[in-house]
Amino acid sequence: MSDDPTYGFDTLQIHAGAKPDPATGARQTPIYQTTAYVFRDADHAAALFNLQEVGYIYSRLTNPTVAVLAERIATLEGGVGAVCCSSGHAAQIMALFPLMGPGLNIVASSRLYGGTVTQFSQTIKRFGWSAKFVDFDDHEAVKAAIDDNTRAVFCEAIANPGGHITDLDAISAISDAAGVPLIVDNTSATPYLCRPIEHGATLVVHSTTKYLTGNGTVTGGCVVDSGKFDWSANDKFPSMSQPEPAYHGLKFAETFGPLAFTFHSIAIGLRDLGMTMNPQAAHYTLMGIETLSLRMERHVENAVKVATWLENDPRVDYVTYAGLPSSPYNKLVPKICPKGAGALFTVAVKGGYDSCVKLVDNLEIFSHVANLGDTRSLIIHSASTTHRQLTTEQQEAAGAGPNIVRLSIGTEDADDIIADLDQALAKATA
């Protein structure tokens, strides 16, 4: 089956990128558990290594199972290509690697997953990169933060942990005017709820660990290339526009056109950084994606019921779910996430830090884990875990204050989820 974009989402999530195995006729994509691939002859090997022919060399670079996953995610996101890697954090570095250099910066939303804030505020300093954190609801502040050394704008479509929705059209207009790419983390939304490329994103990153896999079994990441950015429009991106010494002066933008970023990420990013996804992880994620739309529909349906109940509970100060009419982000749902506001949000519990801890400890259906996007309902107290490394000010800016718990609503019976929260809240606020 071709990856015809006229096919519906439900069809593409099952078939895109995959065909029956030509050797055996196997219907499910096989796990190609191999490190290397036999070349036809010396000329074939030379052509592959010189990027004159596309094929398989070594599984640090490409693998048939992983390639099916990359094509499927790219198709669902509306991109021209994708590169899968070992984790969502690896995907973020892979996305920035071709763009950045010492002394350069990115402008990032202050509402990001705590681990991302740490990666951007601390770890990337070791590369000589830096990040400016801005409230992306303040569009003028985003504009003002971009300077001559900015090489990317980064945000989440649905922010973790608060579930806030970013006005991607407004942000992409700002990044376009500045001549820099917009990178959107679409982990919390998935392409079923939001397709950032349709709103101007240049690159889309995922932690495939979360909703795409959906079963909490493997870690993985992906970078999707829109193919729409002109890397040669100025001299800001020499990795794309200038001769590459490792490939005898080849210019990626000139040679590969819309697929320049994808080829660079494989030929240089995976080659040298080695943040490779293993084929078994790709296999589990492919199986998860086959039911993505069904799961996301149930996630959203349950989230609306649970968030509505929590908002009306006197033991709760507020709920941040964008799917609630009371949310200031509700007006963005029809435009950015027309099929629903996802299933991730935070709850402010009366009684503060101590009540949050008691709530977490007394839940029975919910699992207390540092993950989201599972079929199971999950909870975490971000201030003492995922956002612990941040300052109090950063925690508050990210929506992860001490009185906050993050909920990832699963696909169980909604009444059972509510009953579990009810009995735990009774103990937490007694």
On whether both 230 and 356 belong to a single domain, the answer is no
For residue 304, CA distances in Å to 308, 372, 375 come to 6, 17, 16
Residue 363 maps to a domain: yes
Confidence band of 389 (pLDDT split at 50, 70, 90): confident
Angle, vertex CA 389, rays to CA 384 and CA 395, nearest 5: 70
pLDDT for the residue numbered 388: 74
Residues 50 and 194 in one domain: yes
pLDDT band of residue 114 (cuts 50, 70, 90) is confident
Sequence-distant (≥ 6) Cβ neighbours of residue 352 within 8 angstroms: 402, 403
Among residues 270, 288, 306, the one where a domain terminates is 288
Give pLDDT, residue 408: 97
State whether 341 and 356 are in the same domain.
Answer: yes
What is the strand order of the sheet 404-408 is part of?
A: 316-319, 344-349, 404-408, 378-380, 367-368
Q: Are residues 274 and 316 in the same domain?
A: no
**Does the pLDDT of residue 1 top 80, yes or no?**
no
- The per-residue DSSP string of 199-213 comes to GT-SEEEEETTTTTT
Predicted confidence (pLDDT) per residue in 160-199, tens digit:
988 999 999 999 999 999 999 999 999 999 999 999 999 9
In this prediction, residue 161 carries a pLDDT of 87
**CATH code, domain carrying 82:** 3.40.640.10
Reply yes or no on whether the pLDDT at 4 is more than 70: no
pLDDT tens digit string along 373-387? 999 999 999 888 777
Q: What is the residue-averaged pLDDT of the chain?
A: 95
CA distance 254 to 248: 14
H/E segment holding residue 47 = helix 42-49
Residue 337 Cα distances to 19, 199, 321, angstroms? 31, 11, 13
Give residue 253's domain range: 9-99+181-288
Number of domains in the chain: 2
Q: What is the pLDDT of residues 23-66, one digit of tens each?
A: 889 999 999 999 999 999 999 999 999 999 999 999 999 999 99
Q: Rounded to whole angstroms, how far apart are CA atoms 323 and 341?
A: 5
Q: What would the pLDDT profile of 312-324 be if each residue is shown by its tens digit?
A: 999 999 999 999 9
Task: Give the model's pLDDT for residue 421.
Answer: 98
As to burial, measured by CB atoms within 10 angstroms (0-12 exposed, 13-18 middle, 19+ buried), residue 245 is exposed
- Domain membership of residue 126 (yes or no) is no
